[in-house]
Amino acid sequence: MNKTSKEPSCAMCERPVEVDYKPFCSKRCADQDLGKWFNGSYAIAGEPADQAESNPYSDKNAE
């Protein structure tokens, strides 16, 4: 796809985005992206929550 185009492109394959699957072009691309989150291919930078000094959801921090 031409990079100067104003039309958004699919986050997985760069085809034109379909409104029903935005920011993807199809259910297939949306499912591929979800699969990457599930198998750990994507990660959010930072310290793992179970190793954080203060975890607001931890019972040991409750007073």
The domain limits of the chain are: 7-40
Residue 51 vs residues 22, 35, 40, 46, 48: alpha-carbon distances, Å: 35, 25, 18, 10, 5
Rounded CA separation 32/10 (Å): 12
pLDDT of 32-61, one tens digit each? 999 999 998 988 888 776 665 665 666 654
pLDDT band at 6 (very low <50, low <70, confident <90, very high): confident
Q: In this predicted model, what pLDDT tens digit does every residue of 12-34 receive, in sequence order?
A: 999 999 999 999 999 999 999 99
The pLDDT of residue 43 is: 81
